């Protein structure tokens, strides 16, 4: 009998390239797990997404939701297809519904230059880009989803919602993450991105941030207006450590930041709550390239590595953190020495070729 700790993983491949990059991530996870040992992953593939809605009339079946709830972690590809819509014409977004359902308030989006990878900014300091943007993922302007009003075809309104309990948890999460990074040599800085000079909701957001900052004297707390932040993310992204912001601002800024390190194919993400967490790439289903083999699995593989890191940290299983780091290093090695060159980085490696290369590096160095 093995005494390895076992984690139940709910796997939603989803739609489009989500399915393609998920296959890649699951294979890489398996390789790293086999190499490191000490833990087991039991994957259960679950239905959900636009294809599921087209076939069954439901985008997130109750059984899937229940299984995801019971799992130790949720791994998600991407969901949604432009031609599959609800009767009112809106796109399906079960992954956004899941964030609200599981109260996954902290959307963690690391942005890091991979040495030898795509370089968008000519400045040599761009090699040092290594920041994490935390996007609040359950309220903010997205709280208006499905609740907006149009009056007499004359006026439309969506409302921003900021609550104290979610903001406090969000900021504490941000300060703790900055502390964990500081312990491994980062600046130990948390930047609040808001628009406190214009909106009451944002002034309140800032007030709560300042209150929580007092509890973390070892971390430098600073504020930046969202417009200035957009400018600085292009002008001096290497100066940032951890940023925290409202849902809609985070939606926009995380795509901008992903652009700095090569685009959506390189941007992993995790949506973390107190009891559950979903790990998925920042990108969508990329219908323009699905089925071509051109999808870059890097973001999905790195999201899977974040899952291992989170499981390891949460359950005190060092082997998981070791496997997570091994996956990150394998990708960096392959990209750095040119073995891995994806289509979105001007290369010609298919999703399957990247997967094989990463596994080969994990196994043989
Ligand atoms: P969503 O609204 O769900 O974020 P979207 O259609 O706005 O979806 P994506 O699906 O992320 O955005 O695609 C945006 C662009 O980035 C597309 O041109 C797509 O081909 C490209 N892209 C996204 N992910 C990848 C990837 N993993 N590899 C290569 N290209 C990608």
The per-residue pLDDT for range 3-32, each reduced to its tens digit, is: 789 999 999 999 999 999 999 999 999 999
CB 261 within 8 A of CB 112: yes
Beta bridge partners of 132: 110, 242
Considering the entire predicted model, what is its pTM?
0.94
User: pLDDT tens digits for 156-196?
Assistant: 999 999 999 999 999 999 999 999 999 999 999 999 999 99
Question: Does residue 212 surpass a pLDDT of 60?
Answer: yes
Which atom, in ligand 1's list, is nearest to the CA of 285? Answer: 10
How many CB atoms are located within 10 Å of the residue 361 CB?
21
| Same fold: 1-109+265-365 with 119-260 | yes
Identify the burial level of 353 via C-beta atoms within 10 angstroms of its C-beta, where 0-12 means exposed, 13-18 middle and 19 or more buried: middle
**CB 283 near ligand 1, within 6 Å:** yes
pLDDT over threshold 60, residue 1? no
Domain boundaries, the chain: 1-109+265-365, 119-260
Percent of the chain beyond pLDDT 90?
Answer: 93
pLDDT of 44 strictly over 60: yes
Q: Quick one: pLDDT at residue 86?
A: 87
Banded pLDDT at 90 (limits 50, 70, 90): confident
What is the structure's pLDDT at 20? 98
How far does the centroid of ligand 1 lie from the alpha carbon of residue 300, in Å?
12
Assess contact for 138 and 103: CB atoms under 8 A.
Answer: yes
Would you say residue 240 has pLDDT above 80? yes
317 CA from centroid of ligand 1 (Å): 34
Q: Let me know: does 99 contact 139? Beta carbons within 8 Å.
A: no
Residue 202 pLDDT greater than 80, yes or no: yes
d(CA 11, CA 74): 6
Query: What is residue 189's predicted lDDT score, i.e. its pLDDT?
Result: 98
Span 90-96, mean pLDDT? 86
pLDDT tens readout for residues 125-147: 999 999 999 999 999 999 998 89
Taking CA atoms only, the protein residue closest to ligand 1 atom 7 is: 284
pLDDT at 69: 96
Residue matched to tokens 């959506």: 264
| Assigned CATH topology for domain 119-260 | Isopropylmalate Dehydrogenase (3.40.718)
User: Superfamily assignment of 1-109+265-365 in CATH?
Assistant: Isopropylmalate Dehydrogenase (3.40.718.10)
Tokens standing for residue 88? 């009112």
Q: Which atom of ligand 1 is nearest to the CA of 263?
A: 16
Res 2: pLDDT: 61
Whole-number mean pLDDT of the chain? 96
At residue 87, the pLDDT reads 87
pLDDT reading at 53 higher than 80 = yes
CB atoms closer than 10 angstroms to residue 63: 10
pLDDT at site 31: 98
Are residues 331 and 298 in contact, defined by beta-carbon separation less than 8 angstroms? yes
């Amino acid at each position: 009998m093995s005494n390895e700790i076992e984690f139940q993983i709910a796997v939603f491949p989803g739609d489009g390239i989500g399915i393609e990059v998920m296959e890649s991530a699951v294979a890489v996870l398996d390789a790293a797990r086999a190499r490191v040992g000490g833990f087991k992953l039991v994957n259960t593939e679950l239905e959900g997404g636009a294809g599921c809605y087209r076939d069954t009339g439901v985008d997130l079946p109750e059984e899937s939701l229940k299984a995801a709830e019971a799992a130790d972690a949720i791994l998600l590809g991407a969901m949604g297809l432009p031609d599959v819509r609800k009767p009112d014409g809106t796109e399906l977004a079960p992954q956004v519904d899941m964030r609200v359902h599981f109260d996954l308030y902290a959307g963690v989006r690391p942005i890091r230059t991979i040495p030898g990878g795509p370089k968008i900014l000519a400045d040599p300091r761009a090699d040092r880009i290594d920041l994490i943007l935390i996007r609040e993922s359950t309220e903010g302007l997205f709280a208006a989803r499905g609740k907006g009003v149009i009056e007499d075809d004359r006026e439309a309104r969506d409302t921003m919602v900021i609550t104290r309990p979610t903001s406090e948890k969000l900021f504490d999460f941000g300060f703790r993450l900055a502390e964990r990074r500081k312990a491994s040599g980062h600046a130990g800085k948390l930047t609040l991105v808001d628009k406190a000079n214009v909106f009451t909701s944002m002034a309140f957001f800032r007030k709560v941030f300042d209150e929580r900052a007092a509890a973390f004297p070892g971390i430098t707390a600073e504020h930046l207006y969202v417009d200035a932040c957009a400018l600085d993310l292009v002008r001096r992204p290497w100066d940032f450590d951890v940023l925290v912001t409202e849902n809609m601002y985070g939606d926009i800024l995380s795509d901008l930041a992903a652009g700095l390190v090569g685009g959506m194919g390189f941007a992993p993400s995790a949506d973390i709550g107190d009891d559950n967490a979903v790990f998925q790439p920042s990108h969508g289903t990329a219908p323009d390239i699905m089925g071509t083999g051109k999808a870059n699995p890097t973001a999905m593989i790195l999201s899977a590595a974040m899952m291992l890191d989170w499981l390891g940290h949460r359950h005190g299983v060092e082997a998981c953190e070791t496997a997570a780091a091994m996956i990150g290093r394998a990708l960096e090695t392959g990209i750095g020495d040119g073995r891995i060159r994806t289509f979105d980085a001007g290369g010609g490696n298919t999703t399957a070729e990247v997967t094989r290369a990463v596994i080969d590096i994990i196994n043989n160095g």
